[in-house]
Amino acid sequence: MRKVLLLCLSLQLISLVALAQGRIITGTVTDEDGKPVPNVTVSVTGSQTAVQTKQDGTYSIPVRAAREAELQFSSSGFIEQTVKVNGNEQNILLAKNIITSDDVVVIGYQTVKRKELTGSVSSVGAKQLKDIPINSAAEALNGRLAGVTATSAEGAPDAEVNVRVRGGISITGDNSPLYIVDGVQVDNALSTLSPQDIQSIDVLKDASATAIYGSRGANGVVIITTKSGRRGRTTVTYNGFIGVKQLPKTLDVLSPYDFVIYQSERSRGSSSDSTTFADQFGFTWDTLVNYKNVKPVDWQKEVLGRTGITQTHNLALSGGNKKIVYNFGYTFNNEKPIVINSKYTRNLLNFKADYTITKNLKAGIITRYMNQTVYGAGVSSNSGSSYSRLRNSVKYRPFLSANETLDTEDPYADPNVGNGLILVNPILLANSEYKKATTDAFNLTAYASYTILKNLSFKTTFGYNYNNVINRQFYDSLSPYAVIQDGRLPMINLDSTKTTTFINSNVLTYSLQKINNKHDISIILGEETVDIKTTHGIGMVGKYPVFTTPETAFSQQELGTPFVGYPSLNKARATYLSFFTRVNYGFMDKYLLSLNVRADGTSKFAPGNQWGYFPGGSFAWKIKNENFMKNARFIDDLKLRLGYGAIGNSRIADYLYITTFNQDGKYYYSVNNQNTNASYSPALVNPNLKWEALVNKNIGLDISLVKRIDLSIDYYINNSRDLLLSVPIDLTYGYSAQLQNIGKTQNKGVEIQLAAAIITKKDFSWNANFNISSNKNKILALGQGQDYFYPSPSWGVSGQPTDYIEKVGAPVGAMYGLVNDGFYKVSDFNYDASTSVYTLKPGVVSDAGIIGVVQPGSVKFRDLNNDGVVDLNNDRTIIGNPTPKFTGGLNQQFRYKNWDASIFVNFSYGNDIYNANKIEFTNGYTGNSNMLAIMSGRWKVVTADGQTAQWTDGTTVYGIPPDQLAALNANATIWQPIRGGGAFYPSTWAIEDGSFLRLNNITIGYSFSKEAIRNIKMKSLRLYLTANNLAVFTRYSGYDPEVSVRSSGLTPGLDYSAYPKSRMFIFGINATF
C-alpha cells in the first residue's frame, strides 16, 4: 500500500511540474512601418512573468498550458496592447502613441525628454511625415504646428516656401528661421532634404529655447534630425508614389462675343481705334453677332491646364551591429507640372553612420547630396506687369482668327516692337522663353564624442555645406523681355550663386542625476565658428541673330553682344565666433530651471559693434508632482512654464559698414561716343550698424489627461528693437537715405496645441491633433520722428503709386490705397440737351486727378479729407491687413485592423489678400485685351443697336439724354474699364478676404498581414491612395487664397501672376524587405 501511495504521489508531482512548465510563446513585435521594435515589455497578465524583445523585435515567454494566455505588450511611445493567445506564436504590430511625454526633443546642442521641457517647442515626427506623400518637408509644417506657418509663394515645383515662426521680427530683413540639420546649420534645409529621410522636426519658438543660438535665433530655430540606423540585419525600405496633377480652377473671362462688343465700345471716339477694330472684326455692328457662334479658346487650360504627372521613389537601407549602425537613402523626384514646357527632376542621396569605436569613444559621419533641375519659365517674375506670363493666358483674345492655329502668331493680336504692355499668344510665349535652373548641394557632417568621466563628455562636430545655383534663361525675339530690353532680338541671362559654409562646434557636457535623490543638474559649455563665402555672378548677352536657338546662344556667346556692365561678379564673406553655455537644474522632479547665454562675434559689423550677448532663461513647475495633486489621478501631467530671453538677427547683407563699389550698367560715361561702364557706391555706409534684437516673454501650460489628451497653451510677447531701416537724410551727402538701427516692432499671440487618442482598441484607433494660433504684429517706431515710409510698388507699370505702407501703429506690410465708392451715376451730372454735354454737378467729388475725364459710369473713389477732389496725397489710407487673426489645422488618423486613414484640414481666418490680378484683368489700359467675366456687367456706352451712347474727346463728355443712358445701364454692376494711368491704382476693390478652409489631404491605406506577404520575402507592405488639395472653401475670387508672391516682408499677401496650386491624386507603396 505504501508503494502505491508513493507512486501516485510521484505521478501527481510530475503532472504538476508539467503543468508548471506549460508552453513557450514566441513572436515578433513590429511598428506600423514593419520595423522591429526592441525593448518592448511582454508580460503575462495575472503573473510576474515578463520579458523584453530583442534588437530584432523577437521575444520568447513561458506561459501555463492549462488555460488561454493573455499577453500584454507595452513600450514607451506606443499604444499598449493586450491579446489572448491560444497557440505558440503571436506577432504584434504596435501603433505609435501620439500622447506621450517620454519622447526626446532636440533643443540645441543636447536632447531632453519632452516632459522635462521648460521652453516652447513644437514637433513633427516620422509618423506624420510618412502619412503625407510630399516632396518638400516644408509642406508638412503648414497647419500642423501652432505658431508656425509655411506658405508657398505659388504652386511651382520649386516654389519658395516661406516658413515663419510667430510672425518674424524684421521689417526689411530676412524673417526665415535658422535651420539646424544633425547639429549643423544648413540654409534652406527643407528644400534639400527628402521627407522620407527625416526622423523628426523640432521647432524652437521662444527665446528661452532659441537664445542658445544667439544672433541667429530671433526668427525661431528649426532642428531637423535625419534617420539613423538600427542594430540588426539590413532592412530595405521602399516608399514610392505616382500621381496626377490638375488645375483646380480657372478664372472666368469674357466670351468671344462679349470681347468684340467691348472692343467696339473701346474704339468709339477714336478714328484710328475704329479703323483698327473694323479691320479685325467687321465694319458693321450687325456682323458682330456672328461671334456668338465662334468657338472660344480657354488659354488658361491650354497653357496651365495640362494633366501633370508626379512620381517619387525612395529607397532606404538600414542596419548595423554593436560597432556600427548605418542608414542610406536615395530619393528620386520627377514631375511634369501643369504648365506646358516645364519639367522638374531631383536626386537626393543621404548616408548616415554612427561608430562605437571604444566604450567611451563614438564617431559618426553624415553626407547628403542634392541635384535639382527645373525647366520652364513659369508664369511670373519679380518684375512688373510687362513680364507676367499669366496675364497673357487671361487677357489674350479668346478665339482664333481665320486660318490661325493655337501656336501661330496673329498679325493683329500679337505685339509690335517697343510696346511695353504687349500681349503674346500664350503658347508662343511659352515656347519663346527657355529656362533651366540647376541646384547642386552637398553637405558633410562629422562628429566625435568622448566620455571623459562617467558624467563628463566632450563632442566636436565639423560641417561643410556647398550650394551652387545656376539659372540660364533664353528669350527669343517674340518674348516681352527681349522686346523691351533688346529691341526684339534674342538674349540670354546667366545667373549663378555659389555658397560654401564651414562650421565647427565643440561642446563639453557635465551632468549629475538624483543627487541626494533630489537634485538633477546638467551643464554644457560650447564654442562654435562659422565661415560663409558667397560668389554671385550675372551675365547678360543680347542682340543675337533672330533665329538663334537656346543651345546656340549659351554655347556661342560670342554671337551676341554683352550688355553694358556685364558680366559682373560679387564676392562676400562672413565669419562668426561664438561661446555659449546652458545650465539645467531640477529639484525633486518638481521645479526645473534652465539658464543659457551666448556671445556672438561677427565680421558683418564694424569693430566695436561686432559682439552681441544673448541671455535666456526658463522655469517650469511640474504641478502634478506636488503632494496636493496626488488624488487627481485623471491628470497625468500638469506643468507651468515661464520663459524670457534676448536674441538677435544677423540675417543682413554683408559689408554694410564698408564703402563698396558696383559695376552693373546703371551708370556709365561716354568716351569717343562709346559708353564705358562706371563704378559707383550704391549706399552711404554706416559704421554704427549692429544686431537687430528681440526680447521675448513666454508663459505656457502643458496638461496631459487620462493618458489620452495632451494640451499645450502658450502666450508670448516679442518686442524687437534696433531694426534696420532706410532713413531719409540730407541730399548734401549725395544720397537720399542711409541704413540705420532705429525700428521697433511687436508680435504677441496665443498658441493652442491639442492631441487626443480618442479611441485605442486592439482593432480600432482614432487619434486627432488640433492646433490654432493667433499672432498680432505692429510697428512701434521707425526712428527720428518718422511715422511711416513707403516700400517700392510691388507690381504693375512704371509710375504706379506705392501699394503698401510701413506705419507706426500699423501691422508690417499694411496694404495702402484708395477707398472705392462704386461708380458715378447719371444723377451726378448736369446735362445740356442742346450740346449733349455732361458736366459734373457742383459738390460731387471728382477723381479726375486719378482717372482722367470723369463721366457717367467712371470708377469713383472716396474723398477722405473732404476737399472735393480725390488725390493720392490726401485720400489714400490703409486698406488691408495681411496678418490672419488666427491660423491652424486639424489632423485625424484612423486605424481599423489592417486599414488606415487620415484627414487633414488647415485654415486661416481674418487676413486680406491684395488681388492685383483683378486690377490687371479688368482695366482697359491696352486695346485688344480680354477681361474677367465680371466686366460683362460694366457700364455700357453703346446701345443695343450699336449706336454710341456716351463718348469723350478727352476733355468733354457727350451722350444721349440722361433717362436713356440711365435705362441702358439700369443693370450695371461695375464701372467702365479704366483706360488711363489710374487703371493700375490700388483700391479697396482689390482687397479681398483671404480666409479659407482647405481639405489638404485625405489618405486611405491598407497594410497586408505578415502571413499574406511571407512568400514574397517581405516584412511589410502597405498600399495607399491620397488626394491633396482636394477642396478649398473660401470667398477669395483668385486661383488660391494661400498666396504671397513677393519674398519681401514689406509686401506680403500679394497675388499677382502666381503659379496656380495643383490638385493631386496619388497611389503609393510602403514596403519593407
* Unique residue bearing C-alpha cell 522663353: 433
* pLDDT at position 286: 81
Per mean pLDDT, which range of 364-373, 619-628, 721-730 is the poorest? 721-730
* pLDDT at position 661: 73
Residue 728: pLDDT over 70:
yes
* pLDDT at position 883: 94
Q: What band does 973 get if pLDDT is binned at 50, 70 and 90?
A: very high
> CB burial class (10 A; 0-12, 13-18, 19+) of residue 1000?
buried
**Average pLDDT value for the chain:** 87
**Contact yes or no for 724/692 (Cβ under 8 A):** yes
Higher-confidence position of 440 and 565: 440
CB atoms within 10 A of CB 517: 8
Closest CA to 614 of 657, 649, 638: 649
How many separate helices (H) and strands (E) can be counted in the chain?
14, 54
Return the bridge partners of 491, or none: 475
Return the bridge partners of 240, or none: 313, 1069
CA gap 299, 394 in Å, rounded:
7
Q: What band does 11 get if pLDDT is binned at 50, 70 and 90?
A: very low
Dihedral sign, Cα of residue 830, residue 832, residue 835, residue 836:
positive
* pLDDT at position 8: 47
Collapse the DSSP code of 27 into the 3-class scheme (helix H, G, I; strand E, B; otherwise coil) and give the result.
Answer: strand
**Contact yes or no for 641/619 (Cβ under 8 A):** yes
* pLDDT at position 364: 96
Residue 76: pLDDT over 80:
no
Which DSSP string do the residues of 420-454 spell out, in sequence order? TT----HHHHHHHEEEEEEEEEEEEEEEEEEEEET
Q: What band does 576 get if pLDDT is binned at 50, 70 and 90?
A: very high
Mean pLDDT value of segment 147-159: 75
Per mean pLDDT, which range of 22-26, 335-339, 912-916 is the poorest? 22-26
* pLDDT at position 496: 96
DSSP secondary-structure letter at 1041? S
Q: What band does 117 get if pLDDT is binned at 50, 70 and 90?
A: confident
- Run of H or E including 636: strand 635-649
CA gap 216, 1029 in Å, rounded:
34
> How far is the CA of 784 from the CAs of 309, 657, 739, 781, 919, in angstroms?
55, 20, 13, 9, 36
Residue 926 grid coordinates: 491696352
> How far is the CA of 12 from the CAs of 2, 6, 148, 432, in angstroms?
15, 10, 70, 96
Q: Per residue in 458-512, pLDDT tens?
A: 999 999 999 999 999 999 888 877 877 777 899 999 999 999 999 999 999 999 9
Residue 418: pLDDT over 50:
no
- Run of H or E including 752: strand 737-760
**Contact yes or no for 742/781 (Cβ under 8 A):** yes
User: What is the spatial order of strands in the sheet that 829-832 belongs to?
Assistant: 829-832, 837-840, 957-959, 950-952
Q: What band does 1039 get if pLDDT is binned at 50, 70 and 90?
A: very high
Report cis status (omega within 30 of 0) of the bond before 38: no
* pLDDT at position 13: 43
Q: Per residue in 215-270, pLDDT tens?
A: 788 888 888 888 888 888 899 999 999 999 999 999 999 999 999 999 888 888 66
* Residue 847 phi, psi dihedral angles, 5° rounding: -115, 35
Q: How many residues does the chain have?
A: 1073
Domain ranges of the chain: 21-93, 256-295
**Contact yes or no for 427/409 (Cβ under 8 A):** no
* pLDDT at position 674: 59
Q: For the chain, what percentages of helix, strand and coil (3-state, to nearest 5) are there?
A: 15, 45, 40
Higher-confidence position of 557 and 3: 557
Please calculate the CA angle 414-419-425 and round it to the nearest 5 degrees.
Answer: 20
Percent of the chain with pLDDT over 70: 91
CA gap 191, 618 in Å, rounded:
32
Q: What band does 667 get if pLDDT is binned at 50, 70 and 90?
A: low
CA gap 562, 555 in Å, rounded:
14
Residue 6 grid coordinates: 508513493
Higher-confidence position of 173 and 125: 125
Q: Per residue in 936-964, pLDDT tens?
A: 999 999 999 899 999 998 899 999 999 99
Please calculate the CA angle 375-379-380 and round it to the nearest 5 degrees.
Answer: 110
Residue 751 grid coordinates: 498658441
Q: What band does 383 get if pLDDT is binned at 50, 70 and 90?
A: very low
Residue 425: pLDDT over 70:
yes
Q: pTM for the complete prediction?
A: 0.87
> CB burial class (10 A; 0-12, 13-18, 19+) of residue 163?
buried
CA gap 889, 903 in Å, rounded:
11
* pLDDT at position 461: 96
* Residue 1032 phi, psi dihedral angles, 5° rounding: -130, 125
**Contact yes or no for 308/246 (Cβ under 8 A):** yes
CA gap 175, 150 in Å, rounded:
12
Residue 15: pLDDT over 50:
no
Per mean pLDDT, which range of 394-403, 741-750, 995-1004 is the poorest? 394-403
Q: Per residue in 842-891, pLDDT tens?
A: 999 999 999 999 999 999 999 999 999 999 999 999 999 999 999 999 99
Closest CA to 739 of 682, 780, 695, 802: 682
Q: Are β-strands 814-818 and 820-823 bridged in parallel, bridged antiparallel, or unpaired? A: unpaired
Residue 1062: pLDDT over 70:
yes
Return the bridge partners of 912, or none: 993
For domain 21-93, which architecture applies? Answer: Sandwich (2.60)
Amino acid type, 98: I
Mean pLDDT value of segment 637-650: 91
